[in-house]
Amino acid sequence: MNKTNTVLTIAVQKSGRLQNGSTKLLEEAGFSLANGSSRALKSRATNFPLELLYLRDDDIPSCVAEGVADAGIVGENAVAESEQSVDIVDRLGFARCRLAVAVPRDSRFETVEDLQGKSIATSYPVILRRFLKSRGVEAAIRTISGSAEITPSIGVSDAVCDLVSTGSTLMVNGLREIETVMTSEAVMIGGPSPNPQKKALLDRVQFRMRSVLGARDYKYILLNCPNGQIARITEILPGIKSPTVMPLATEGWSSVHTVVREDEFWEIIDALKENGAEGVLVLPIQKLVF
8-state DSSP, 185: -
Bridge partners, 101 (sequence order): 161, 179
Tell me the residue nearest to ligand PRT as measured from the CB: 75
Cβ contacts of 26 within 8 Å, gap of 6 or more? 10, 12, 33, 45, 52, 209
Residues 91-120 binding ligand PRT (CB under 6 A) are 95, 97
Q: Among 21, 19, 190, 31, which Cα is nearest to 93's? A: 21
User: Taking CB under 6 A as the rule, does residue 35 contact ligand PRT?
Assistant: no
User: Taking CB under 6 A as the rule, does residue 56 contact ligand PRT?
Assistant: yes
**CB 252 → ligand PRT: shortest distance, Å?**
52
- In three-state secondary structure terms, 288 is coil
N- to C-terminal Cα separation, the chain: 22
User: Taking CB under 6 A as the rule, does residue 53 contact ligand PRT?
Assistant: no
What span, in angstroms and rounded, lies between the C-alpha atoms of 39 and 15? 10
What span, in angstroms and rounded, lies between the C-alpha atoms of 74 and 81? 12
Q: Which is nearer to ligand PRT, 49 or 75 (CB)?
A: 75
Selected range binding ligand PRT among 15-23, 32-40, 107-115, 225-233, rule: CB under 6 A:
15-23
User: Taking CB under 6 A as the rule, does residue 77 contact ligand PRT?
Assistant: yes
271 burial type by CB count under 10 A (0-12 exposed, 13-18 middle, 19+ buried): middle
Residue from 45, 71, 78, 160 touching ligand PRT (CB under 6 A): that is: 78
What span, in angstroms and rounded, lies between the C-alpha atoms of 254 and 238? 18
**CB 225 → ligand PRT: shortest distance, Å?**
42
Give the per-residue contact string, 43-82, with Zn ion (x = CB under 5 A; - = no): --------------xx------------------------
**CB 243 → Zn ion: shortest distance, Å?**
46
Please say whether the beta carbons of 165 and 99 come within 8 A: no
Bridge partners, 176 (sequence order): 103
Q: Which is nearer to ligand PRT, 5 or 168 (CB)?
A: 168
Residues 156-195 binding ligand PRT (CB under 6 A) are 162-169, 184
Please say whether the beta carbons of 161 and 128 come within 8 A: yes
Q: What is the dihedral of CA 240, 243, 244, 246, to 10 degrees?
A: 160
Residues 102-161 binding Zn ion (CB under 5 A) are none
Residue from 6, 23, 28, 58 touching ligand PRT (CB under 6 A): that is: 58
**CB 134 → ligand PRT: shortest distance, Å?**
21
**CB 170 → ligand PRT: shortest distance, Å?**
6
**How many amino acids of this chain bind ligand PRT (CB under 6 A)?**
21
Q: Which is nearer to Zn ion, 84 or 255 (CB)?
A: 84
Q: Which is nearer to ligand PRT, 177 or 264 (CB)?
A: 177
What span, in angstroms and rounded, lies between the C-alpha atoms of 129 and 127? 6
Please say whether the beta carbons of 275 and 229 come within 8 A: yes
Q: How many CB atoms lie within 10 A of CB 100?
A: 20
Enumerate binding residues for Zn ion (CB under 5 A): 57-58
Q: Please give the residue ranges that form the binding site for ligand PRT (CB under 6 A).
A: 13, 16-18, 56-58, 75, 77-78, 95, 97, 162-169, 184
